């Protein structure tokens, strides 16, 4: 059985991205899921001065170890003003001070959703272009627009969007199957 991480890149207790990440992770065949709650990684605001004075916070090392322990990553990005939530960007900034290889080459299913019709397309595009510089291996990406219209407890209700998700899941499962056990 492969170990996967589910992460909604939001600190909201009602995060729709966390909901999506957990749902999609639960559909991955033959995998055990660890859910990462970003509220467990609320780090001080990154600054060069803070790093010089206090060093890298323990939470950043802990997050890095959790990624290292996984075989694959299911991440859904919340979009705030066209980019990452501040809490997620801050975490990434600290992580890159440990090692630029933040995502450690683990196969990643990268998603975004929002209540609006663009489904977090802007933040998804930003991550698709930049995560590869952080050893992100994005094997599939998926955007779910109009979350509250297209998602219910049972999952994605729009047929076309559900079919697309199944295709992306299959790509992720294929990549996961090729990973040597950690
Ligand atoms: C400060 C702020 C900025 C936002 N900016 C965007 C945006 O640029 N694009 C968008 O689609 N939604 C935007 N939204 C709406 C979010 O997509 C919505 O709050 C969503 O629920 C966030 O995901 P989450 O529930 O996983 O935290 C914004 C929300 C907030 C609070």
Residue 85 placed within a domain: yes
Residue 70 placed within a domain: yes
pTM exceeds 0.95 for this model = yes
Q: Which residues line ligand 1 (CB under 6 A)?
A: 8, 10, 12, 15-17, 78-82, 114-116, 118, 120
Atom of ligand 1 nearest to the CA of 116: 11
Q: Look at ligand 1, atom 10, and give the residue with the nearest C-alpha.
A: 79
CATH of the domain at 99: 3.40.50.360
Question: Structural domain tally of the chain?
Answer: 1
Closest CA to 138 of 68, 65, 75: 75
Confidence at residue 168, expressed as pLDDT on a 0 to 100 scale = 98
Mean pLDDT of 40-65: 97
DSSP annotation of 118 reads T
Residue 182 placed within a domain: no
C-alpha to C-alpha distance for 157 and 102, rounded to whole angstroms: 33
Residue 165 placed within a domain: yes
Q: Give 104-139 pLDDT, tens digit per residue.
A: 999 999 999 999 999 999 999 999 999 999 999 999
Per-residue DSSP letters for 147-180? HHHHEETTEE-SHHHHHHHHHHHHHHHHHHHTSP
Q: Where are the alpha helices (DSSP H) in 39-103?
A: 48-54, 58-68, 86-98
| Domain enclosing residue 57, as ranges | 2-177
Q: Which of 10, 89, 114, 149 to mutate to test the pocket of ligand 1 (most atoms within 8 A of CB)?
A: 114
Q: Look at ligand 1, atom 27, and give the residue with the nearest C-alpha.
A: 15
How far does the centroid of ligand 1 lie from the alpha carbon of residue 29, in Å? 30
C-alpha to C-alpha distance for 173 and 85, rounded to whole angstroms: 28
């Amino acid at each position: 059985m492969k170990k996967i991480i589910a992460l909604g890149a939001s600190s909201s207790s009602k995060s729709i991205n966390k909901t999506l990440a957990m749902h999609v992770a639960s559909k991955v065949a033959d995998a055990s899921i660890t859910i990462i709650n970003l509220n467990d990684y609320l780090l001080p605001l990154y600054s060069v001065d803070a790093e010089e004075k206090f060093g890298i916070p323990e939470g950043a090392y802990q997050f890095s170890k959790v990624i290292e322990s996984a075989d694959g990553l299911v991440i859904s990005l919340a979009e705030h003003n066209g980019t990452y939530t501040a809490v997620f960007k801050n975490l990434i900034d600290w992580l890159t001070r440990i090692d630029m290889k933040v995502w450690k080459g683990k196969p990643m299913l990268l998603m975004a959703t929002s209540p609006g019709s663009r489904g977090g397309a802007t933040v998804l595009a930003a991550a698709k272009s930049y995560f590869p510089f952080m050893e992100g291996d994005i094997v599939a990406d998926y955007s779910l627009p109009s979350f509250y219209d297209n998602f219910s407890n049972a999952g994605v209700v729009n047929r076309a969007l559900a079919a697309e998700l199944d295709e992306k899941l299959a790509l992720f499962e294929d990549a996961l199957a090729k990973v040597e056990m950690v």
